[in-house]
Amino acid sequence: MLKGRSALAGAGGSAPASRNAHLFYAEGAAFTLLSALSMSLTNLFLTRLHASDYEISTYTMLTQLVGMVFLIPLALFAGRLRNKRGVLCGVLFFIAACFAAASCAPFLGSSAVAVLVPLAALGSGSLALYTSVWQAYFADVIEPDAFNVTYARRNRVTFIVNLAANLGAGALLSAIALDAGKVRMHQILYGVAVCCALAEIGVLLRIRGGDGARQEGKLLPELRRSLRELLQSRSFLGFLGAVGLLYLTWKLDGTIFYLAQVQYVGLSEFWLSVSTAGNAMGQILTVGLWAKLNEKMGFRFGLIFGALGLMLSPACIILPFAAHGGARMALHIVLRFFTDLAFTTIQLNVLQDLLHAVEEKNRTMAIAVYTTVISLLSAFMPVAGVALYTALGASEQGMARTFAFIGAVRAVTLAVFIARWLRGRRRAHAA
């Protein structure tokens, strides 16, 4: 278990370590701004171009398919390099090119949506590729006893940037009355995102170290060996089963949550940004608490709270239906703030759980396999959620029933994480 004092010393005890930590904070800020101004706004961009619910869900699915197709090949390539920084820079350059091209889609008239969907999906899906390789690179650069604190501080920076980006983008879009003007603003925000990707490359090039374990041998035999060892690892399979179930139930509302917010709760661009910004503020205020809880109780205990928040999340859609107008929007924003407070534990703890479950030599491949499974679930579960909502009537009442079902299946996920933590504690006591 990572200890706070030693971690703080490790993060700032030497000039190179402190310099790398601060560069990772800057890198996290640039990446968050890139993601917030591109991927996070694409649903709204498509809506302003009059895309259908099917086209929006298709964009979500294609985004995840990009990750599924390229994650393992990219992991194999990155794993054979002494330092993964070059791969990260290459992926960022590709992301910049995709969103630069996507920003031109509205100039194509009736074909705008057909062009924007695949280009934005390639760019957004590549963000997951970047994150997968970055996780292994971060673990190569940062010493184990500094990991928890440095990762928590980087997350705090990303939450602050996410808060500012969502409020700023929402205010800019809400200040424009006509759809044509909003489309132009989305194009400008895509351009800013491209600049953030290029700036992030500059930050990465300044980070020192990062030479990790390098995979030797021929490519296919090495792939078979890594996969065989992972599939024979009870700790990795236990992790993958639990976290896979978490994402399976989480991503069911990947599209319908947005549809519920816009169509039934009645949120505009501004209030969508306020809701997202409120979540970011809650995460900023609580990330230190969750990091301390990790040090005291372990990261698996913290994940219980993430599963609990996920189970309670449907309440922020269902309960506001009892109110009307501004009261409905206010109730949704307040409930979402409280139910999402523990989501920080998922971002903060899942990577630590994964790294604890595998050997260093299989780290890059394990992250790729895990991310591929999550991408698969994230690709098809939102479509399943839309199908369930449609089958239940595609109405306000149908939306409420859909989220009630989602809350019920998430209760199973919570039970799994409680059982997993109790089993780990019994084994620790027995040892």
pLDDT in tens, 65-81: 887 777 777 777 776 67
CATH number of the domain where residue 351 is located: 1.20.1250.20
12 — pLDDT class (breaks 50, 70, 90): very low
Confidence label for 137 from pLDDT (cuts 50, 70 and 90): confident
The pLDDT of residue 340 is above 60 = yes
pLDDT at position 212 over 70: no
pLDDT, mean of residues 248-258: 88
Within 13 A of 6's CA, how many CA atoms are on the CB side? 8
What proportion of the chain, given as a percentage, has pLDDT over 70? 92
Residue with the two structure tokens 């996290």: 28
Between 214 and 57, name the one with better pLDDT: 57
Lowest-pLDDT range, 120-129, 133-142, 187-196, 396-405? 133-142
Task: Give the Cβ contact number of residue 423 at 10 Å.
Answer: 12
Cβ within 8 Å of residue 184, ≥6 positions away: 106
Q: How many domains does the chain have?
A: 1
pLDDT band at 10 (very low <50, low <70, confident <90, very high): very low
Higher pLDDT, 427 or 196: 196
Out of 73-77, 212-216, 265-269, pick the least confident. Answer: 212-216
Does the pLDDT at position 234 exceed 70? yes
What is the DSSP-derived secondary structure letter of residue 142?
Answer: S
Concatenating the DSSP letter of every residue in 320-362 gives GGGS-HHHHHHHHHHHHHHHTGGGHHHHHHHHHHHHHHS-GGG
Residue range 206-233: average pLDDT? 72
Among 226-240, 299-313, 404-418, which stretch is predicted with the lowest mean pLDDT? 226-240
Asked if residue 63 has pLDDT above 90, the reply is no
d(CA 106, CA 49): 8
Domain that holds residue 62: 4-430
Give residue 304's pLDDT band: very low, low, confident or very high (50, 70, 90). very high
User: CB of 363 within 8 A of CB of 139?
Assistant: yes
Neighbours of 20 (CB within 10 A): 24
Is the pLDDT score of 353 beyond 80?
yes
Mean pLDDT, range 68-95, rounded to an integer: 82
Residue 216 is classified by DSSP as -
